[in-house]
Amino acid sequence: MNHYRALRRELAKRFAGRGVVHLEGGKPVSRNFDVDYAFRQNSDFLYLTGVEESGCHLVLDGSREILLVPRVDAHHRVWEGHVPGPAEAKKLFGVDRVMYADELKKALGSKRPVPAALVRDALDEMRAVKTEGELALMRRANKISGDAHVDVMRRARPGMREYELQAMFDSACVKAGLKHLAYPSIVAAGVHGAVLHYRKNDAVLKSGDLLLIDAGAELGGYAADITRTFPINGKFTRRQRDVYSIVLAAQKECIAHARPGVISADLHVRSMRVIAEGLKDLGLLRGETDGLVEGGAVRLFYPHGLTHMLGLDVHDVTGGKKRVLPNPTKVPVRFVAKLEPGFVITMEPGIYFIEALLKDPVLRRKHKDSVDFAKADSYLDFGGIRIEDDVVIRAGGPPENLTSVPKEIDAVEAACAR
Ligand SMILES: [Mn+2]
| DSSP-H helix ranges across 110-187 | 116-128, 132-155, 162-175
SS3 content of the chain, % helix, strand, coil (to 5): 40, 15, 40
Identify the CATH number of the domain in which residue 368 sits.
Answer: 3.90.230.10
Distance CA 321, CA 304 (A): 24
Cα 92 to ligand 1 centroid, rounded to whole Å: 33
What integer pLDDT is reported at residue 53 of this predicted model? 93
Q: What is the mean pLDDT of residues 313-335?
A: 96
Q: What is the mean pLDDT of residues 191-215?
A: 98
pLDDT tens profile 101-148: 999 999 999 999 999 999 999 999 999 999 999 999 999 999 999 999
Sequence-separated contacts (24+) of 34-38 with Cβ below 8 Å: 38/180
pLDDT tops 90 at residue 192: yes
What integer pLDDT is reported at residue 283 of this predicted model? 98
pLDDT tops 90 at residue 269: yes
Phi, psi of 127 (to 5 degrees): -65, -25
pLDDT tops 90 at residue 40: yes
Q: Give 239's pLDDT tier (boundaries 50, 70, 90).
A: very high
pLDDT tops 90 at residue 418: no
The answer on 111 and 145 residing in a single domain is no
The answer on 99 and 154 residing in a single domain is no
The answer on 202 and 314 residing in a single domain is yes
Phi, psi of 417 (to 5 degrees): -60, 140
Exposed e or buried b for every residue in 391-407, given b needs 16+ CB within 10 A? bbbeeeeebeebbebbb
| Residue-wise DSSP of 47-79 | HHH----SS-EEEEETTEEEEEE----HHHHHH
Instruction: Provide the CB-side half-sphere exposure for 166 (13 A, CA).
Output: 19
Cα 388 to ligand 1 centroid, rounded to whole Å: 7
CA 167 to chain CA centroid, nearest Å: 20
pLDDT tops 90 at residue 230: yes
pLDDT tops 80 at residue 47: yes
pLDDT tens profile 243-267: 999 999 999 999 999 999 999 999 9
The answer on 167 and 107 residing in a single domain is no
Cα 104 to ligand 1 centroid, rounded to whole Å: 38
Q: What is the mean pLDDT of residues 77-101?
A: 94
The answer on 87 and 9 residing in a single domain is yes
The answer on 117 and 134 residing in a single domain is no
What integer pLDDT is reported at residue 375 of this predicted model? 98
Cα 227 to ligand 1 centroid, rounded to whole Å: 8
Cα 342 to ligand 1 centroid, rounded to whole Å: 18
Local structure of 144: helix, strand or coil: helix
The answer on 380 and 245 residing in a single domain is yes
| Residue-wise DSSP of 300-351 | GT--S-S--B-SSSSS-----GGG-----SSS--S---B--TT-EEEE--EE
What integer pLDDT is reported at residue 1 of this predicted model? 80
pLDDT tops 90 at residue 41: yes
The answer on 380 and 274 residing in a single domain is yes
Cα 348 to ligand 1 centroid, rounded to whole Å: 7
Q: What is the mean pLDDT of residues 351-359?
A: 98
Domain encompassing residue 162: 129-415
Distance CA 277, CA 298 (A): 10
Cα 308 to ligand 1 centroid, rounded to whole Å: 7
What integer pLDDT is reported at residue 256 of this predicted model? 98
At position 128, the amino acid (one-letter code) is A
At position 273, the amino acid (one-letter code) is R
Percent of the chain whose predicted confidence (pLDDT) is above 70: 100
Cα 335 to ligand 1 centroid, rounded to whole Å: 12
Q: Give 340's pLDDT tier (boundaries 50, 70, 90).
A: very high
Q: What is the mean pLDDT of residues 152-164?
A: 98
Cα 371 to ligand 1 centroid, rounded to whole Å: 27
The answer on 284 and 146 residing in a single domain is yes
pLDDT tops 80 at residue 315: yes
Q: What is the mean pLDDT of residues 73-77?
A: 94
Cα 303 to ligand 1 centroid, rounded to whole Å: 14
The answer on 196 and 104 residing in a single domain is no
The answer on 63 and 17 residing in a single domain is yes
Burial class (CB in 10 A: 0-12, 13-18, 19+), 28: exposed
pTM higher than 0.85 for the full model?
A: yes
Say how many residues make up the chain. Answer: 418
Cα 146 to ligand 1 centroid, rounded to whole Å: 14
pLDDT tops 90 at residue 63: no
Number of domains in the chain: 2
Percent of the chain whose predicted confidence (pLDDT) is above 90: 98
